[in-house]
Amino acid sequence: MFDIQGTLVSLDLVERFFCCDLERCLGACCIEGDAGAPIDEEEYRRLKEIVPKVWDYLLPRAQEEIKEHGVAYVDEEGALVTNIIDGKNCVFSCYEPGGLCSCAIEKAYRAGKVDWRKPISCYLYPVRVKQFDGWASVNYHRWKICKSAEVAGRQRGIRLYEFLREPLIARFGQAWYDELVANCKLYIEQYLSD
């Protein structure tokens, strides 16, 4: 583990290679799993506000679900998460030609309709952040649906901490990320170089 300004960061971020290969995984992380994406209270408020702007991108079933039960719920572990349909799809997921699953919020962001990309837990995936009293941990959620990303990352020489540069800066700030990079480079030099 690295200790970056009081945040414990898994060595997986430097040891694992990763680069999403959407043509192969088809955006499975918006679908697979038995709960929605973790969000905080502020993100919950923003999601409710954003619904009218992304409405036309949503699946008909998701529109019904949002009308009936809203955009989020509290899961079995007591965490606030985005609502899901059919026991798996996030209500904000949508499909592109070819079956690629994407995020309706990000689609609206790219089209200039909203000024928010998506909840930070989605932006950071496959990294998960856990908050504890006064400190946090950053871990790689290793899952078979991302196997193609590990292959593509290795082929292209992109490590997880490099692939997630933008979301990690969005979550923790530039100074935090710069310190992480310095630690990763030192670690590669000491332990991962031939």
Report the nearest approach of ligand SF4 to the CB of residue 144 (Å): 10
Q: Does 54 bind ligand SF4 (CB under 6 A)?
A: no
String marking each residue 98-127 x if it binds ligand SF4 according to CB under 6 A: ---------------------------xx-
Instruction: Tell me if 58 contacts ligand SF4 by CB under 6 A.
Output: no
Amino acid found at 41: E
Smaller CB separation from ligand SF4, 81 or 146: 146
Binding of ligand SF4 at residue 145 (CB under 6 A)?
yes
Residue 20 interacts with ligand SF4 (CB under 6 A)? Answer: yes
- The residue whose two tokens read 């899952």 is 143
Residue 30 beta carbon to ligand SF4: minimum distance, rounded to whole angstroms: 7
Residue 7 CB, nearest approach to ligand SF4 (Å): 21
CA distance 72 to 85: 11
* Site for ligand SF4 contains 27 (CB under 6 A): yes
User: By C-beta, is 10 or 63 nearer to ligand SF4?
Assistant: 10
Q: Which residue has the tokens 């670690």?
A: 187
Exposure letters 141-171 (e unless 16+ CB within 10 A, then b)? eeeebbebbbebbeeeebbbbbbbeebbeeb
**What distance lies between CA 9 and its chain's CA centroid?**
16
Closest CA to 62 of 46, 76, 51, 49: 51
Query: To 10 degrees, the CA torsion angle through 93, 96, 99, 104?
Result: -10
The reply on whether position 158 binds ligand SF4 by CB under 6 A is no
Residues lying near ligand SF4 in the complex (CB under 6 A) are found at 20, 22, 25, 27-29, 125-126, 145-146, 149
